[in-house]
Amino acid sequence: MKTRKIISLVAVICVVLMAAVSGVFGAEYDHEVKVKKMSFGWKIAGDTLAVKMSAETEGWVGIGFNPSKKMKDANFVLGYVKKGEAKIIDEYGDSPTKHSSDKKLGGTTDATLVGGTEEGGITTIEFTMPLNSTDKYDPAIDINGDTVVLLAYGPGRDSFKTKHKYRTALKVNLSTGASEAVKK
């Protein structure tokens, strides 16, 4: 009898937590930017950034924040969906043309997968990340200033090793949603 009460209590707690998380980070995003065949939606919740990125691809989708030169110094999150299971990686722009795993560089993985789908040739990944993590490979993001956002997607293959098929850079104010293309 005592075991049943504990199981019931755990089940109730899980349902409440799932409802709370989906209420904060579900399909509701405050802002969205669409470019070509890709979109980036986001919501600020305290010290956390919730992100939804989608592209017309059956490969990976990715986003980078605040590079200093091309890809250098940017905080990247890439994701794909394979056989119904979403996967993301947290990387750092360690040169103008390359990024590597935060963990391999001695940092931590600070992006948390919320979910992902691949339907009708469109891959969608949702994740959360702290605006200011303690990882030296995740530069702080100022939501009130301009943030340079790199958006990209890969060809129709579920591999983080493939080069992007499309890429662009935007200057975004995460608080207001204002955005403009970055001139190359």
User: Distance between CA 125 and CA 139 in Å, rounded?
Assistant: 21
Residue 22 pLDDT greater than 50, yes or no: no
Helix (H, G, I), strand (E, B) or coil at 124: strand
Stated pTM of the model? 0.82
Please state, rounded to an integer, the average pLDDT across all residues of the chain: 86
Q: Is the pLDDT of residue 21 over 60?
A: no
Instruction: Place 183 in a pLDDT band, splitting at 50, 70 and 90.
Output: confident
User: Which among 170, 173, 127, 174 is positioned nearest to 151, based on CA atoms?
Assistant: 170
The helix/strand count (H/E) of the chain reads as 1, 12
Q: Kindly list the domain boundaries of the chain, sorted by start residue.
A: 30-181
Is 30-181 assigned to CATH 3.30.70.20? no
DSSP label of 183: P
Residue from 161, 159, 137 nearest 64 by CA: 137
Higher-confidence residue: 160 or 35?
A: 35
Torsion angle of the four alpha carbons 53, 80, 49, 26, in this order, in degrees rounded to the nearest 10: 80
Q: Is the pLDDT of residue 97 over 70?
A: yes
pLDDT tens-digit map of 142-165:
999 999 999 999 998 787 888 888
- Among 43, 52, 70, 26, smallest CA distance to 143 is for 43
For residue 3, what pLDDT is reported?
A: 55
